[in-house]
């Protein structure tokens, strides 16, 4: 059972990294996710007044056909994001259990 779980976890990680991290846009400053049974929650932190291309989100949904995918978008100003300089933990939000990207400073 553990081997099947490990393979599923690695497949999910690979897919999310391939889509979300490779070619990441500069306005995306943090990406983390959680999995509960067949539900994947993806949290994307963006610079305020920017967006995530719907094609980007649709690609994730298309690739993860065995999961229900939910996106949580958080918008922050550059100053708000940089308030916590010198501390790796984000301020203003919490990471989900699996972090794919987190910029130290923007």
pLDDT tens-place string over residues 85-100: 777 778 788 999 999 8
Q: pTM for the whole thing?
A: 0.86
State both tokens at 104: 């130290």
Domain range list for the chain: 2-102
Residue 106 pLDDT > 80, yes or no?
no
Q: Which fold has domain 2-102?
A: GMP Synthetase; Chain A, domain 3 (3.30.300)
Residue 24 to residue 94: CA distance in whole angstroms: 21
Residue 76 to residue 85: CA distance in whole angstroms: 15
């Amino acid at each position: 059972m553990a081997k099947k779980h490990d393979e599923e976890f690695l497949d999910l990680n690979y897919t999310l990294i391939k889509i979300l991290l490779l070619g990441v846009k500069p306005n995306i400053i943090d990406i983390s996710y959680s999995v509960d049974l067949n539900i994947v929650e993806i949290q994307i932190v963006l610079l305020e007044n920017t967006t995530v291309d719907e094609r980007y989100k649709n690609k994730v949904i298309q690739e993860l056909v065995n999961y229900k995918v939910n996106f949580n978008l958080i918008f922050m100003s550059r100053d708000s994001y940089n308030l916590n300089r010198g501390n790796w933990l984000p301020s203003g939000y919490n990471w989900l259990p699996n972090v794919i990207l987190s910029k130290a400073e923007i």
